[in-house]
Structure 1
Amino acid sequence: MATTHKTRMLIIGSGPAGLSAAIYGARAGMEPIVVQGLQPGGQLTITTDVENYPGFREVIQGPWLMQEMQAQAEHVGTRMMWDTITSVDLSGEKFTAQGDSGDVYEGDTLVIATGAQARWLGVPGEQELSGKGVSACATCDGFFYRGKKVVVIGGGNTAVEEALYLTNHSEDVTLIHRRDSLRAEKILQDRLFAHPKINVVWNKRVDSFLGGGEGGGLRALKLIDTVTGEESEIETEGAFVAIGHAPATELFKGQLAMDDTGYLLVEPGTPKTDVPGVFACGDVMDHVYRQAITAAGTGCMAALDAERFLAEKEFAEAAKVEA
C-alpha cells in the first residue's frame, strides 16, 4: 500500500548538491529524506576520472565518490528513498511530492537538487566514446588532454568559453560550428577570434565520432558540410560537446520562478527560491559553474538556510501561542 513519508527536510535529487544538503540537514536534526530519482548519484555516476574534487591526492572515480557521499549521508541519519518524483505541490503549508511508486513525501522544507543534463548530439560513437575522448565539460576533463589536439562543438557562449579554457592545456583547439556565425556574446567572440591557439571551422556538423585511437579512444570526427554536403574527417584526441544543458525543472513549472532556459531563479548569493521554505541548489540553479564542488557548496547553503527557516518559523509560532 502507498505510504506517506514525513520529514522536516525533503530533498529531491541525490547528486553532490542533494547529498551535501542531506549531510548538513541530518547533522542539524532535520531527519532528511532524499528521493534519489532516475539517476541516483547524479552526473558523477557517469564520470570516470575525477581529479578536481578537493581532498584526494590521486585521481578518483565518480561513482565511488557518490557512493561515499551517500554512505556518509546515511551514516549521519539520512533516509534514502528509491523512487522518482512525478509531481509536486508547493501551495500548502507542507510541501508534498508524489512518487512513481505511489508513495507521498511531505516536507516542512523542500530542497531541490534535480540537476541538469548536458545536451548531446545523438550521433554514432558519441556515447560509446564518452569518457574515452568525448566529454561535455572542458573544466572537468580538459586537464587530461594536455598537449593534445582537441575540438569543441557548438556556437554559443558555452562553446566559446570551453574553447578558450582549453587553450590552458592545448596548443591546438578547433571550434566546429554548423553555421557561418556564432551565437555567443560579441566580447567572447572577439577573444576567440584573437586567440592564436584557436581555429574555427564553419558550416560543419558532426556526423559521427570515430574510435580506434590510443587505447581504443577517440581518433577523429566525421563531418558533413551543411552547405555542400561534402564529407570530411578531422583528427582529434578530445572532443567537447558544448551545445548547452537542460535543467531538470519540468516538475516545478508554474510553481517556481525560472529563467528563459528553465533554470530555477534564486535570491542572489543564496539558494532561496521565490517560495519561502523551498531551496534550490546545484546545477538546477547554476548555469555558470556546474562543478561538483560548487554543487556541494550550494547544497550546504540550502540545508543551513532550511534549518534557519524552520527555526524562525517555529519561534514565531511559539511566540504567538505564548501571547
Structure 2
Amino acid sequence: MSGNSTIRDVVIIGGGPAGLTAALYLKRLGLDPLVIERSLPGGKLNEVPIIENYPGVEPVKGLELASRFLKQVQDLGVEIWYPEEVVDVSNVGGFWCVKTSGGKCVLAYALIIATGAERVRGTIRGEFEFLGRGISYCAVCDGPLYRGKVVAVVGCGEKAIKEAQYLTTIASKVYLVLEKVDEVTEAYLRRLGHVPNLEVIEGRVEEVRGRDRVEKIVVRPIDGSIKEIDVSGVFIARAEVPNTAIFRKIGINVDDRGFIIVDRSQRTNIEGVFAAGDVTGRGFQVVVACGDGAVAALSAYRYVIARRREVVRRDNVFELRVNDKVAYLRYRVEGRKLIIESVYVPEEFRGLGIGKRLVLEAAKYALSTGLSIQCECDYAKYIVEKYLRVSSD
C-alpha cells in the first residue's frame, strides 16, 4: 500500500501468536484487520527450537508453527505489512492513526497491541551456539526434557528463583546462579526455604561448554574463583522488556515493569485500544498469547461494530442497536431544558464507549436546538461535564 491514509477496522501491531490469532478471529468475524510486524510474522516462535506443549499439535519446530499461523491468516486474505516498524500512534478525529518507518499511514477504529517483550540475551559465551541444544529461555516449555538430569538456572530476582523452584520438581539437581542478590532476592530465597536438590551460587556464568550439546558451565562466584559444573541444560531467566515505549505517549497505563495493564477483556485504559500476549506480562506461553489474542479480537469486534452503528433519535430516546441488543438514553424536554433521565448499555457492550456516545449525541442535539442540559443520571452528568465542560445541573 502507499503512504496515503486509509481506514481499517482494526490495526494489530505485532505479528506473533497473539497478533496472528487476533487477525484470524477478526477476519472470520467479517472485519478487515491489518497486521503490522517489524520483523518476521510469528515473533519469538521463529527462535524456539521445539514446541511440545501446544494442544492438539505434535512436537513441532517453532519456525514451522509460525509458518502455519502465517499461512492460515494469509489464506483468509489478512493483509500483513512486514518488515515494517510502527513509529508513531496518535488519535486523529476519533480514529487511531498509525505511522510506520516506511512512510505508510493507516487510520483505524481500534488497535490491538501485540508487540511482545524482548529478552536480554547474549551475555554468556556459548549462549547462541547452544540455543536449542541445552540452552533454553523457558523452564515450563523445556523443563520436562531434563527429567532426572542436572541443570542450571542463570539470572536474577524472582523470575530466576521461580524457574529454579519449578525445575527442582523435575531435575535431579538444580544450580541457581544468581547474578545479583539484593534484599528483595534474599527475601524470596528465605520464603523458598531449604530445597534438597537446589544449590544457590551468587556469581556469574562466564561460559557454556560442550561438543554437540551443553555439557558444563564455567561459573565465577563473587569470591573470584572459577568453577566448572557438569550440567545437561542451562535455563536463562532474565527479565523480559516489553515493547511499549510508543504507547506510553498516548497514555496507556503500564505496571512497574512496563507491561500494559489490561482487564479480563484485554481492554486497556484507553477506549478502542486492546492489548494481548507477552506485552501484558502474563504467561509468556504460546497458548496463553493465542488465548489473549482471541479475547482481544472479540472485544475489538464488539467495539468496532458499535462504532459503525448510527445513533437514532425517536420518541424521547436516543438508541444504538448492536446486533440484537439495544443501548439507549431516555430524556424529556421541559421548557428550554433537555433532561437526561437514564442511560442503559447491555452488559456485554459496556466499556466500549457506547454510553458516552449516547450522552454526547443527546448533548449535541440539545445545543443545536437551543436547549440547556440537565442530568438526573450521574453517569450522564459526568460525561457532559468532562467532555463538554458545561454544567448539567
TM-fit CA distance, 1:288: 3.8
After superposition, the Cα gap between the structure-2 partners of 1:138 and 1:91, relative to the gap in structure 1 and judged at 3 Å, is: farther
Partner of 1:81: 81
After superposition, the Cα gap between the structure-2 partners of 1:243 and 1:63, relative to the gap in structure 1 and judged at 3 Å, is: same
TM-fit CA distance, 1:96: 1.3
TM-fit CA distance, 1:189: 2.3
SS of alignment partner, residue 214 of structure 2: coil
TM-fit CA distance, 1:231: 2.1
> Which is worse superposed, 15-24 or 121-130?
121-130
TM-fit CA distance, 1:31: 1.1
Tell me how far apart the structure 2 counterparts of residues 234 and 318 of structure 1 sit (CA, whole Å): 73
Q: Deviations over 1:61-80 (max 9, x none)?
A: 11111111111112223111
Partner of 1:295: 289
Which structure ranks higher in relative contact order (CA pairs < 8 Å, sequence separation ≥ 6)?
1
The number of equivalent residue pairs is: 314
**TM-score scaled by structure 2?**
0.75
**TM-score scaled by structure 1?**
0.91
Tell me how far apart the structure 2 counterparts of residues 32 and 238 of structure 1 sit (CA, whole Å): 41
TM-fit CA distance, 1:154: 2.1
Partner of 2:213: 217
Residues 88-107 of structure 1: pairs in structure 2 closer than 5 A: 88-90=89-91, 92-107=93-108
Contact 1:178 1:226 in 2 (8 A): no
In the alignment, structure 2 segments of 5+ residues that lack a partner are 321-364, 366-393
> Which is worse superposed, 175-184 or 113-122?
175-184
Q: 1:262 aligns with which of 233, 258, 265?
A: 258
TM-fit CA distance, 1:315: 3.4
Q: Alignment identity in percent?
A: 33
Contact 1:138 1:162 in 2 (8 A): yes
Going by fraction, where is strand more abundant, 1 or 2? 2
Partner of 1:155: 156
Partner of 2:60: 60
In the alignment, structure 1 segments of 5+ residues that lack a partner are none
RMSD, aligned CA = 2.1
Tell me how far apart the structure 2 counterparts of residues 108 and 185 of structure 1 sit (CA, whole Å): 48
Residues 37-48 of structure 1: pairs in structure 2 closer than 5 A: 37-48=38-49
**Corresponding position: 1:232 with 2:232:** no
Tell me how far apart the structure 2 counterparts of residues 21 and 233 of structure 1 sit (CA, whole Å): 46
Residues 167-246 of structure 1: pairs in structure 2 closer than 5 A: 167-179=168-180, 183-184=184-185, 186=187, 188-190=188-190, 192-202=192-202, 204-212=203-211, 216-227=212-223, 229-246=224-241
TM-fit CA distance, 1:226: 2.7
Partner of 2:309: 315
Contact 1:155 1:182 in 2 (8 A): no
Partner of 1:24: 25
SS of alignment partner, residue 218 of structure 2: strand
Partner of 1:137: 138
Equivalent residue letter for 2:204: R
Q: Deviations over 1:93-147 (max 9, x none)?
A: 1111111111112211100000012222522211121111111110111111112
Tell me how far apart the structure 2 counterparts of residues 225 and 190 of structure 1 sit (CA, whole Å): 20
> Which is worse superposed, 72-81 or 133-142?
72-81
Q: 2:276 aligns with which of 277, 281, 287?
A: 281
